[in-house]
Amino acid sequence: MRKLPLPAARSGGMSRLGDILHGLTAAVFVIAGAIYAAADWMSPRAVMDGSQMTGPFLPDMIDAEPIAASAISRLYLQPENPLMWSLLIAVWATVALDAIGQWIDPGEPDGRRVLAIRPLLLVALAAASAAPWIFPHAPGGLAALMALAATAAVLAARRGAGRQRPALGFLGGWATAVTSAGLAAVIGTRFSMPMEWVAALSILPATAFGMAAQLWIGQSIGYSAALIWAFCALAVTTMGTDPTIALAAILGIAGMASVLVRAAS
């Protein structure tokens, strides 16, 4: 049976309601993320030297390697250097600009392209907004919820490939990096790995998944760009004098650059 098209007024009203919901969800994502990131600066900070973490709430004698490992997934959410801050700000900016752009120009009069993408994007934004607040000290839970955000964003990027919406892939790449860091933190805490190994472990699986995801997404470079940025920022944050992280970052950047070139061409 052939479906009848919605009346123009009703379709337009539903589209505007979706635009409002999209804008509110994007605003929550940006505001919640900014508050969470700023909270680390407004509270007493622990001092981490790679082998021991001390502070007003941690006794000096605690073995802090597992604590350092569990904290690595939060480096993307509570940055410690300008490069990591710039990545987080870029994620917020692209998400906000995408919401504004969809309000100004939804793309098609009937909104079919928007409706194909919007539910996935809303799920991604909601999951990414809630993850650090629900699981502030549980990297496993954080990784699970961020995996949902990454999956939804990658699916949205696939549907939006070639439609001038880089925020979809960029959000997916960032969420993939956070997910991989969370999983690496769980493994590192379980086996008491040093932070350098955990940082390397968070890069390599993300590279393998990221290359496959970028090839599947197609003509959208936002996903690869976000992951390359994330690898550089994580290496700068954690590498110190250990070459393991630098090597892992180089391999990750090379792998993602190869698929980025293919997607751009």
Cα 201 to the center of its chain, rounded Å:
17
The reported pLDDT for the residue numbered 236 is: 86
Instruction: Please answer whether residues 37 and 87 qualify as being in contact, where contact means their C-beta atoms are separated by less than 8 angstroms.
Output: no
Weakest-pLDDT range from 62-76, 80-94, 211-225, 232-246: 62-76
Q: Report the 10 Å Cβ neighbour count for 196.
A: 21
Answer whether residue 67 shows pLDDT above 60: no
Domain ranges of the chain: 8-264
pLDDT tier, 66 (very low <50, low <70, confident <90, very high otherwise) = very low
Half-sphere exposure of 86 (CA within 13 A, CB side): 13
Angle between helices 222-238 and 166-190 (to 10 degrees): 40
Instruction: Please answer whether residues 168 and 153 qualify as being in contact, where contact means their C-beta atoms are separated by less than 8 angstroms.
Output: yes
**Two tokens, residue 242:** 């250990």
The reported pLDDT for the residue numbered 156 is: 95
Q: What average pLDDT is seen over the chain?
A: 82
Query: pLDDT by residue (tens digit) across 173-194?
Result: 999 999 999 999 999 888 888 8
- How many residues are listed for the chain in this entry? 265
> Residues 215-243: what's their mean pLDDT?
87
The reported pLDDT for the residue numbered 48 is: 42
Highest mean pLDDT among 77-81, 148-152, 191-195: 148-152
Query: pLDDT by residue (tens digit) across 19-59?
Result: 899 999 999 999 999 999 998 666 544 434 443 333 332 23
Paired residues of 48 in beta bridges: 53
Residue whose tokens read 């934004």: 125
> Residues 124-144: what's their mean pLDDT?
95
